[in-house]
Structures are given as C-alpha cells and as structure tokens.
Amino acid sequence: MSFARTSRRRVFALFASAAATTLLATACSGGDAGGGDPSGPPRPGGVLRYGLSLAPTCADPAQSTTNQTLYVTRQIVDSLTDQNPSTGAIQPWLAQSWEISPDARSFTFHLRPGVTFSDGTPLTAASVRQNFDAIVHTLTGAKASLAASYLTGYTGTAVLDPTTARVDFDRPNAQFLQAVSTPQLGILAEATTAKAADQRCGGDVIGSGPFVYTEYRQGASVTLAKRTGYDWGSAVFGHRGEAYLDRVEFRVVPESGVRTGSLGSGQLDAVSDALPQDVPQIEAAGGRVQVTSNPGVPFGIQPNLTRGPLRDSAVRAALLPAIDRKELIDTVLGPQFRPATSSVGSKTPAYVDLSARLGHDPEAARRILDQAGWRPGGDGIRVKDGARLSFGILFGRSFAGNQAILELIQQQLRSVGVEVRLEPASDGEYSARQAAKNFDSLYYNMTRADGDILRTTFGLDGANLNVRAPLPELDRVLSEEQQSTDTAARAQLIGAAQGQVLDNGLWIPTIELSQAIGVSAAVSDLRFEASARLQFFDAWLRG
C-alpha cells in the first residue's frame, strides 16, 4: 500500500471494526470521559442501547480479555477494591478496609456486610477464597491467564471470620491491591465458581454487581437488567443505591458506518470505536465522542532476543529512532490516538515521559547500524557477515488498525535499510506461536492501570516473550517494585524500569491504544473507569 497516495479516509476504513486489546490485561479518564453536562438531575429508568464493534468472547469476567467483552462483564461483577480514574488511588468497594503485611505477602480484607449475589446468597470471606482458588486451580492455562498472573505465588485464602479474608502469597506481591480492583479478580457467587471454565462463558454468571444478565446470545447480543436492591457501590461511583438505567442492551455491529448511522437515527444510544470520519455525523445529530487512552504497555514491537538480527542490541537501538510515530497517528489513526512516549502509556500511574528518546531521527538510525557493521546491500537492505537485516513481525487482528500501522512501519524501516516481513495470524495461530516462542518479534499491547505490567510483560518471572537472559539492573527494579508498599518509592522503581526496557531494546513502542465511543445527546454520565473500560452504573437517559 502506498500511504502517500492513500487518503486518510480510505486508510481509516481499513480498520473500521475493533479498538480492542490483543493480549490484555488497564486509565484514567480523558477527553469527554465524564459523559457531558447533564440537563437537570439524573432520571432513573430507560433502556440504553449500545453498539459493540466486536462480539464478547465470554460472559465470565475472569476470562474476559477484549475491551468489548469487558464493557459487558464489568457491569455484573463487583471487586474488592476500585481505582480512582483521576488519581489512580485504590478505594473501597466490597472491602471496606484492608491491611497489607510489611513484606507484601499477606492481604487482609474486611468485607462490607449485607452484600448479596444476584441468586440471593451472601458475600462472605469464603466467597473470596472460592474465587481465587477457582482461578488458580480450575481456570487453568489460557482460560484466565491475566487473572492467574495477578495471583502468581498464591498459597491460599484464610477465612478469619465470615467477613474477613486473608490472601497469602509465597513471595511479595505489592501489585495485588490494584489487581483486586480489576474485573478479572471480581467476586462471583459459588454457583459460578464451582463450574468448569467453559460453563462460565454462556451467560449464566452470578455476581453481586449493579446489573445482571437476562440474555446472552453469543456473537449477537447481550441484555443486562438493573439489580434491584443494589446498595454497595464503589467509593468511586457518582451516586449510591441502584443503577439509574433499567436495562442495557448490547448489540454486535461490526461495521463502523452502520454503528454511526444507527446512532444518528436513534436506533442506538452509544457505540464503540467512533472513527474520526464519523465525528461530523455524530455531532450533526447532537452527539459527541468520548475518548480515553489505555494505560499499560502501549502498542509496540517485542523482539525475540534469541534469533535473527534482533539478537544485536544495535539493531534494536536503531529501531527506536527509525519509526515516525507522529506519521502513524497522522496517516493511519487520527487525533483520537497519541504516539507512544514510553514503555508504558501516559495514563499509567508512575508513567515517565521518555519522548525525547523516541523522536524520529532516521539519520541516527543509519549511524547506529553503520557503526555496528550493517552495510547497505544492492537492494538497499543492510547485510552483515552475509546475513540480511530482515525479521518478521507476528501480529493478530483484534485491533484492526494493526495491518495498516505495520505496513507504514514497514516502509519507514526500509528507508533505513531494515526489511520487515509482516505475519498476520488468526487468534489460534498467534497464541500457539507465542507459546512456542516461534517468532522473530511480536506486535501487541497490554492494558492495566498499574506499573507492575512491566514485570509481568518483561520480567524473568513474567511472560518474558523477549526470551531474554538476566539483566541485573532491570531485574533489580522489577523485583523491588513488587516488594515495595511505599507508593512514592514504588513509583520511582517503576519509572526506572520504563527506561531500562528501552535501554535494553525489549520494546519498540509505536502508539497508545485509545477508546473512543460515540454517545447520543440522550445519554449522560457514561464513564470510563480506571482500566479504560465503560462503567454504566452512573449513566442515565434524558427524557
């Protein structure tokens, strides 16, 4: 594809479906995240019709991965804690209070009394134990890989009394307090935790959240109804008591133009993945677009350090200035997105702006490669010791902008003598090759509103998809941040880790993923929560 000859509108049309994560695990609200100025006090009642760009993959929050799935599952499950989307602070939800042991190996939660699941059973400390035990022992493998990663080193949950649970680990786990704010570690009823993994995906999932499933049609639609009597919302929520909406109806509408047209005609009240060319039509109908950037690891290239030219640290160093991130935004994505400026996204707590190290400087890239002995060959691709500077990038389709972004990166890198082979893969092939470490490099992002995502992504005790050997300074700061319960000290360690990831060429950042939703004039207070997913509890409809 020639980007010089392709209009932005046509490029946008290439990925009019999903803005979902690839490997997921989450950011503070941005843009019009508060949902607009309400006209008068909130009005209870009504049905909000929402257009999803992709079908939810599973009704179980613990097994949820894509943003479109989490938009649904977040509504039916409560968590022990919540995270303030503006400050990143952890606040009470199902747990009224908690204590953390000095070594960050034990977390004691004091549960709010009077909470019940939608089948009428009470929330107890045993419920906490059953949930975490099920994730570790029942939802094995890829079924709940993200949830399981939060429970690494889990040795069990002690029921100290009916409303007090102590969660124990065999190693320090400072990230756990934020982890229990995520839907993946949300608390479900025993009727759900006792089921096998596949049985938890069909819609018969029982939580204590402000909404309940009334219909779950895989690949087509989901209907949620307000939970009558709900009165234990998060301290982050905007009001107490029940949700305002009577129902939320999710419909899967893959085509962007159809979603936008349905919003303008009043058939839908809000839609996922509003593209830049859709904005005039949405605004002409009196609507607006709400945008927030995802926290966590931004989209980028992860090199396999054990094969091909990416074993050479100079090659990895040259890739950083060779990529023009602003061109990716201006040509492929548009103003709803932003260039990556670190090894974590800008909405991640403890983010450090490293944009000075990620500026576009192709001459610097050429100098690095020249000095490392990579000389241009007859076709312009560099060669060293008879080997071409050529590598593959394995990527999936869950964010449909990947193909267009990587095609432009392919052109940018070729201009400095680097050949890139694009290797699109189905979800199954991608997962299999990733698990087998059968790739030159990967392209993906990871979403989480905590800097520990650097450890789980790049640490030797994490995914380690770089297939790297020990790196003493990086390993030190990743280990220490996991042990530190001092917020300021932990932030300094996470900041240092961001630079170390770039220094060692473990991640070549490209762009930050953003969530952009189109909202009609009838909708107020549809909010992004800290993980950049939607929270419908405070949403209401104008008359």
The residue ranges of every structural domain in the chain are 47-292+516-541, 296-512
Alpha carbons 540 and 528: distance in angstroms, whole number: 14
Work out the percent of the chain whose per-residue pLDDT is above 70. 92
**223 pairs with which residues across the strands?**
215, 249
Q: Amino acid identity, residue 82? A: D
Confidence band, pLDDT 50/70/90 cuts, at residue 22: very low
**97 pairs with which residues across the strands?**
110
C-beta atoms surrounding 220 within 10 Å: 12
Domain 47-292+516-541: which topology?
Answer: D-Maltodextrin-Binding Protein; domain 2 (3.40.190)
Does residue 213 carry a pLDDT above 60?
yes
Alpha carbons 229 and 159: distance in angstroms, whole number: 27
Question: Which residue is it, tokens 């994730």?
Answer: 135
Q: Which whole number is the average pLDDT over 401-424?
A: 97
Identify the H or E element spanning 252.
strand 247-252
Q: Which whole number is the average pLDDT over 326-342?
A: 94
End-to-end CA distance of the chain: 48
Mean pLDDT score of the chain, rounded to an integer?
91
Q: What was the pLDDT predicted at 378? A: 95
Q: What was the pLDDT predicted at 218? A: 87
Whether the model clears a pTM of 0.85, i.e. scores above it, the answer is yes
Q: What was the pLDDT predicted at 316? A: 98
Does residue 111 carry a pLDDT above 90?
yes
Alpha carbons 199 and 209: distance in angstroms, whole number: 20
- In CATH terms, are 47-292+516-541 and 296-512 the same topology? no
Alpha carbons 538 and 38: distance in angstroms, whole number: 12
User: CATH for 296-512, among 3.90.10.10, 3.10.105.10, 3.40.50.1820, 3.30.420.40?
Assistant: 3.10.105.10
